[in-house]
Amino acid sequence: MTLKKAGVLGATGSVGQRFILLLQNNPGFEIHALGASPRSAGKAYKDAVTWKQTAIIPESASDIIVQECKPEGKFLECDVVFSGLDSDYAGKIEKAFVEAGLAVISNAKNYRREPEVPLVVPTVNPEHLSVVENKVKEARAAGQKRPGFLVCISNCSTAGLVSPLKPLVEAFGPIDAVTATTLQAISGAGYSPGVSGIDILDNIVPYISGEEDKLEWETRKIMGNIAEDGKTLAPLPFANMKVSAQCNRVAVSDGHTACVSFRFANRPAPSLEQVKEALRNYVCDASKLGCSSAPKQTIHVLEKSNRPQPRLDRDRDAGYGVSVGRVREDPLLDFKMVVLSHNTIIGAAGAGILIAEILKAKDVI
């Protein structure tokens, strides 16, 4: 198999480090270019980075000379560029990379709400990638070079929430009301400075800046449709899917938990057993395409009353499988459940890798 050349923007940051770790063992990609701040540029990666992962620095990355985050040098040879840039920098840099004809998959929030940019959880709405697939195929049909494009990874807590909602909507029609209270891991806040130890030890912080709005809005885009033009995405109207989120930071290293309740638009609602059955039977497209990172089981429906738990369940399917437990009837809406997803895998860098695998399988990159 031909290895695709991968670049990483923001390579020294915590998301960038995750991209590099995941790429190193991926059978379809090789690390080709690493970009960071001017302060790091010119150094070997191992000397530029403060490595904070539990696995050691991949040899395939450690001696690469870090570049600045400009669309030049080795980046121009990349088949795909993963961006772990902070939102302060992502806006300009990602735009420049796309304009230079590069395929960018970004974890930053800057362009998530742009109509022509797919916002993708790879196990949930890979069909939204057709927006860029169409663009690429049109250009190729016209004998042109592959154009640059951008795909956005969703917010980490959004990825968990939509994972069980999608199969349910596929099986039983629209869900018109959702409440989600999240208990989010500190790795989601990054590292510099991230969450302070004194703020999280024996404590909860019942607020994450911008998070509730992201969860409420992104869910509607991901659960939404491709517009008739085939080129843009159409989020569900608020009235069609009301989402109410309350987000908390808790003393967990990895793994976001969400306590969710929801209501189907169609009456009668399905039975509890039908709901669990639909979750269990769901097979994501990435699995059907044979993507190497796709989970064997997209949704794990756990029957023990005290599961899922972050420490015990976050690593199912290497963090690409989402766990759902305590599915039961809800006195207000139809059902409630607990959803656990690995925030740095299916909720961030891992999602980017799996999106790239799908794009590769579909010959877009």
176 or 277: whose CB is closer to a second copy? 176
Q: Does 336 bind a second copy (CB under 8 A)?
A: yes
Considering only residues 106 to 135 of the shown chain, the ones binding a second copy according to CB under 8 A are none
CB burial of 29-52 (b: ≥16 within 10 Å; e: otherwise) equals bebbbbbbbeebbeeebeebbeee
Which SS3 state, helix, strand or coil, does residue 99 take?
helix
Helix (H, G, I), strand (E, B) or coil at 110: coil
**Out of 2, 54, 141, 145, the residue judged to bind a second copy by CB under 8 A:** 54
Write out the binding residues for a second copy, residues 200-239 only, by CB under 8 A. 200-207, 209, 216, 238
Tell me which stretch binds a second copy (CB under 8 A): 122-130, 225-233, 246-254, 273-281: 246-254
Contact stretch for a second copy (CB under 8 A) within 72-80, 94-102, 160-168, 312-320: 312-320
Residue 171 interacts with a second copy (CB under 8 A)?
no
Binding range to a second copy, per CB under 8 A, among 79-87, 138-146, 154-162, 302-310: 302-310
Identified catalytic residue from 78, 156, 247, 284:
156
At residue 168, what is the residue type? L
C-alpha distances in Å from residue 174, one per residue of 238, 279, 337: 13, 15, 17
256 is catalytic: yes
Query: What is the amino acid identity at position 95?
Result: K
User: Annotated catalytic, 284?
Assistant: no
Contacts of 39 (CB under 8 A, 6+ apart): none
For residue 22, state whether it binds a second copy (rule: CB under 8 A): no
Return d(Cα 237, Cα 365) in angstroms, integer. 32
Q: How far is the CB of 119 from a second copy (least distance, A)?
A: 20
Dihedrals phi, psi of 352, to nearest 5 degrees: -60, -45
296 is a contact residue toward a second copy (CB under 8 A): no
Is residue 250 close enough to count as binding a second copy by CB under 8 A? Answer: yes
- Using CB under 8 A, which of 7, 58, 122, 308 touches a second copy? 308
If residue 301 lies in a helix (H) or strand (E), which one and from where to where? strand 299-302
Query: Minimal CA–CA distance to 114: which of 250, 206, 229, 218?
Result: 218
Distance from C-alpha of 234 to C-alpha of 254, rounded to nearest angstrom: 32
Q: Which residues are catalytic?
A: 156, 256
Which residues here bind a second copy, judged by CB under 8 A? 52-54, 56, 177, 179, 181, 183, 186-187, 189, 191-207, 209, 216, 238, 242-244, 246, 248, 250-253, 257, 259, 261, 305-312, 315-316, 325-326, 330-333, 336, 338
